[in-house]
């Protein structure tokens, strides 16, 4: 029964984040609450388990957000096959409150297989697996989504954007005199990971379709398809202490292409994931994602150098 709170911007002082449910056994926990909509692997990995300072540009662009919902999660076949699936208020209903429009829901799920044993937390192999382990997974989301008039005041808002960074529901986004009020959002992902003796290699690829546009004006397209991916390579060269990593992600679609390249160094204080100091450098080229908690600004090309001290109590 994990329960927490977070400040989500001007619309609300505090919103609960957490799940309240009943665990029948390892195969099934059923519950409800305010949780991430499980549309990508990197999104449902908890923040403490990221390799770098936070998640990638591609994940920030494609992922859904937080929302109230009900879900089931668990693992079967000797805890080698895992799943999380349910229905949520929207792809980003966490802070819409009374401003939520429509009655359509977001249906989402994530499943992954660990055939060689427990893959462990996140992308890093700071624990140093003596024997190689792999992870294979997939995710999917289906939702009809409406625009919100003040979306963006919360840094964690999921603003669906074109591949040049323009918000889909912005006036004139799909042609002069147009404004999208509702659209259908479909997202599918595949992911793979490998860990062995301090080395971690992980990939995820995204496929997103947007269509069924309604609103004002005559749209210059009836649908669009965007895709992209990410990759991480890490090496914990001093077990449970020092780790070097490289990362990259890219997005392409009918309105443009963007990439990021970077890397950094993690220092696990006291040989634990509970405390980590990170130094990271990222180069972004025509970045289409935006989140003010990360260095991503839509349309930006340039370099970000950042450091973070993470401590978990």
Of 192 and 19, which is predicted with more confidence?
Answer: 192
Average pLDDT over residues 177-206: 98
Q: What is the pLDDT of residue 13?
A: 44
φ, ψ at 240 (rounded to 5°): 60, 20
Of 13 and 181, which is predicted with more confidence?
Answer: 181
- Residues forming a β-bridge with 44: none
Q: Residues 296, 60: contact at Cβ < 8 Å?
A: yes
- Whether residue 162 has pLDDT greater than 60: yes
Q: Residues 252, 226: contact at Cβ < 8 Å?
A: yes
pLDDT digits (tens, 9 = 90+) for 73-90: 999 999 999 999 999 999
pLDDT digits (tens, 9 = 90+) for 53-62: 999 999 999 9
The C-alpha atoms of residue 88 and residue 77 are separated, in whole angstroms, by 27
Of 186 and 12, which is predicted with more confidence?
Answer: 186
Average pLDDT over residues 36-64: 93
| pTM of model > 0.85 | yes
Q: What is the pLDDT of residue 42?
A: 96
Mean pLDDT of the chain: 91
% of residues, the chain, pLDDT over 70 = 89
The C-alpha atoms of residue 190 and residue 203 are separated, in whole angstroms, by 8
- Per the listing, tokens 């990222």 go with 282
Q: What is the pLDDT of residue 149?
A: 58
Nearest to 158 by CA among 308, 8, 309, 6: 8
Q: What is the pLDDT of residue 9?
A: 45
Average pLDDT over residues 262-277: 95
pLDDT digits (tens, 9 = 90+) for 142-151: 999 988 755 5
**Which token pair is 219?**
């749209």
Domain spans of the chain, in order of start: 3-311
Q: What is the pLDDT of residue 312?
A: 85
**Which token pair is 141?**
């989301």
The C-alpha atoms of residue 2 and residue 105 are separated, in whole angstroms, by 24
Q: What is the pLDDT of residue 293?
A: 82
pLDDT digits (tens, 9 = 90+) for 193-209: 999 999 999 999 999 99
Residue 303 burial (CB < 10 Å; 0-12/13-18/19+)? Answer: exposed
**Which token pair is 198?**
């301090």
For residue 271, give the 3-state DSSP assignment: helix
- DSSP H/E element including 104: none
pLDDT interval class at 263 (50, 70, 90): very high
Residue 74 backbone class (left: φ over 0; alpha: ψ -120 to 50; beta: rest)? left
pLDDT digits (tens, 9 = 90+) for 98-121: 667 777 799 999 999 999 999 999
Q: What is the pLDDT of residue 235?
A: 98
- DSSP H/E element including 89: none
Any idea how long the chain is? 313
**Is the C-alpha dihedral spanning 128, 133, 191, 261 positive or negative?**
positive
The C-alpha atoms of residue 273 and residue 101 are separated, in whole angstroms, by 41
Class of domain 3-311: mainly beta
The number of C-alpha atoms within 13 Å of 149 and in the hemisphere containing its C-beta is: 4
- Whether residue 164 has pLDDT greater than 80: yes
The C-alpha atoms of residue 29 and residue 75 are separated, in whole angstroms, by 9
């Amino acid at each position: 029964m994990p329960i927490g709170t977070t400040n989500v911007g001007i619309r609300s002082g505090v919103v609960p984040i957490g799940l309240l449910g009943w665990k029948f056994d390892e195969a099934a926990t059923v519950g409800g609450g305010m949780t991430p909509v499980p549309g990508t692997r990197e999104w449902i990995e908890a923040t403490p388990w990221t390799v770098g300072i936070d998640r990638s540009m591609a994940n920030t662009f494609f992922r859904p957000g937080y929302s109230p919902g009900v879900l089931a999660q668990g693992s079967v076949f000797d805890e080698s096959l895992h799943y999380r699936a349910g229905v949520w208020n929207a792809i980003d209903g966490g802070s819409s409150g009374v401003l939520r429009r429509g009655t359509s829901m977001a249906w989402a799920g994530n499943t992954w297989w660990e055939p060689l044993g427990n893959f462990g937390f996140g992308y890093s192999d700071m624990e140093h697996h003596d024997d190689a382990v792999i992870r294979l997974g997939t995710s999917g989301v289906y939702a009809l989504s409406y625009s919100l008039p003040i979306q963006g005041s919360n840094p964690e808002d999921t603003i669906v954007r074109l591949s040049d960074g323009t918000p889909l529901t912005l006036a004139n986004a799909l042609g002069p005199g147009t404004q999208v009020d509702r659209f259908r959002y479909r997202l599918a992902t595949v992911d793979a990971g490998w860990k062995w003796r301090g080395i971690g290699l992980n990939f995820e690829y995204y496929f997103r379709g947007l269509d069924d546009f309604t609103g004002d004006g005559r749209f210059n397209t009836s649908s669009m398809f965007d895709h992209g991916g990410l990759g991480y390579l890490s090496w914990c060269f001093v077990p449970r202490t020092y780790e070097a990593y490289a990362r990259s992600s890219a997005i392409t679609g009918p309105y443009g292409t963007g990439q990021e390249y970077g890397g950094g160094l993690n220092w696990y204080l006291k040989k634990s994931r509970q405390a980590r100091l990170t130094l990271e450098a990222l180069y972004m080229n025509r970045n289409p994602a935006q989140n003010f908690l990360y260095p991503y600004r839509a349309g930006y090309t340039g370099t970000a150098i950042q450091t973070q001290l993470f401590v978990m109590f």
